Amino acid sequence: MAAFLESVPATLEGTDVCRFLERVVGSADLAEARAALSTPPDLEPLLSFLPLREDRPVQAVLHRAHGCALVLFGWLPGQTERVQDEGGAESVYRVLRGAAIERRFRTEAEGRAVETSCERYLAGSVVTCEGDEAHAIANDTGSLGPLFTLHVYRPSPPRHVGASAKGDVR
């Protein structure tokens, strides 16, 4: 298996999926990663290795080194993540399957997160998040199937991906 992959089974070694992930991780910057995410091969084989849970969204860290993190997320219909920032890291993600609802927030001086926008992204969408933004992603409640997204963070977030922003959401 490729040395950078932390949680992708060896059965993907030498496949288009593995070569694609290596290209994304090896990209020089976030713009190059965004371009790579815009033209992926069929990533369905990757999705089958992320077991979904009824009680919460799931994630698999595929790579975290050299200032970059590559994370696969999965949500069942109606699941949402907590409001989170990425500790100053910028990110770009691709909706691989399903419809993502992304709410963006600004954090006030006292640490309270205030919603600034809400967008719906369909499979194939590639979305960029600035390092000073907080957001929450959810699987559309009207969805009949799971949501999968593949995220690239630069630099790698200084803490565990999924940590929440401070304060209440209004």
Residue 33 lies in a domain: yes
Q: Tell me, what's the pLDDT at 75?
A: 95
- Say whether pLDDT at 103 is over 50: yes
In a domain, 130, yes or no: yes
CATH code assigned at 127 = 2.60.120.10
Total-model pTM:
0.85
Is residue 146 included in any domain, yes or no? Answer: yes
In a domain, 167, yes or no: no
What is the C-alpha separation between 124 and 29, in angstroms, rounded?
21
How many structural domains compose the chain? Answer: 1
Mean confidence (pLDDT) of the chain: 83
| 67 CB burial (10 A radius; 0-12, 13-18, 19+) | exposed
Among 85, 72, 68, which residue's Cα sits nearest to residue 33?
Answer: 68
Task: Answer whether residue 37 is part of any domain.
Answer: yes
Residue 150 is predicted with a pLDDT of 95
Summarised one tens digit per residue, pLDDT across range 111-154 is 788 899 999 999 999 999 887 788 899 998 788 899 999 999 98
In terms of residue numbers, what domain contains 107? 10-154
